[in-house]
Amino acid sequence: MFGSPAFRVLIADGHAPTLASLRRAFGEDDRFHVCAEIDNAAGAVAAAVREQPDVCVLDTKLPGGGLSAAWEISARLPRAKLVMLTVSADESDLFAALRAGADGYLLKTPRFDDLPSQVAGVCMGEAAVDPAFVGSLLQHFRAREPRWRRPVSQSPDGAQPLGLDPGSADSRLTSREWEVLDLLSEGLSTAGISRTLTISASAVRVHIAAVVRKLGVADRAQAVEILRGDRSDN
């Protein structure tokens, strides 16, 4: 950062010893200038508007509402970065912070030794999520987004395996349809698949119907036969 202006950082925490630790951590790092230190949500919003910081570091449990402060600061200062600090391992708090506009979500530590470097990364366009929450993020997006999979290889005679038309997006099986087809090949009934995947029997039947339609076969037995044949060829 030699020769570059320091990042202006606003720090906000309702616990006086924690606020002092934050002040010390950022004050001892020449990449930062602490432009405001606040102990409540309303004060954090007012100081952010007044001081125009590059980054705001807010406690999620800030008196008056850390997330409420994040929402308002994000709306009024869209260029300012937001880093939320928390003692909570509740993933719902993580998603609420991200919806509020947070660029970082980090667990509190006693000394905040690594925090200035993490916040500097955020100021330069990086995201900062504590490793404890990465698994939750991956699970969340995997559950929300449709995932597609095609067989990797063709059968020895060059035919497209599983009867799929490679030019048709509609021929792709979703990850859930593959799970259902795999369980069918293991001999599970509709009820068995329902219990294994913890979904309703009617949902299982919908997935089976989609598999049958996409594979262009008459019934589930033929779908399983095609899958087993493809596996024996590879």
pLDDT grade, residue 189 (50/70/90)? very high
List alpha helices for the chain, DSSP H: 16-27, 41-51, 66-76, 91-99, 115-123, 131-144, 175-185, 190-197, 201-215, 220-233
Running DSSP on this structure, what letter comes out for residue 229? H
Residues of the chain with CATH 1.10.10.10: 148-233
Instruction: Give the 3-state secondary structure percentages of the chain, helix then strand then coil, rounded to 5.
Output: 50, 15, 35
Residues of the chain with CATH 3.40.50.2300: 7-142
- Compute the residue count for the chain: 234
- Give the pairing of strands 32-38 and 7-12: parallel
Average pLDDT over residues 125-150: 66
Enter the CATH code of domain 148-233: 1.10.10.10
pTM to 2 decimals? 0.60
Q: Are 122 and 81 in contact (CB under 8 A)?
A: yes
pLDDT grade, residue 20 (50/70/90)? very high
Cα separation, 157 vs 62, whole angstroms:
66
Enter the CATH code of domain 7-142: 3.40.50.2300
Q: Which residues pair with 56 in a beta bridge?
A: 10, 82
Q: What is the pLDDT of residues 38-55, one digit of tens each?
A: 999 999 999 999 999 999
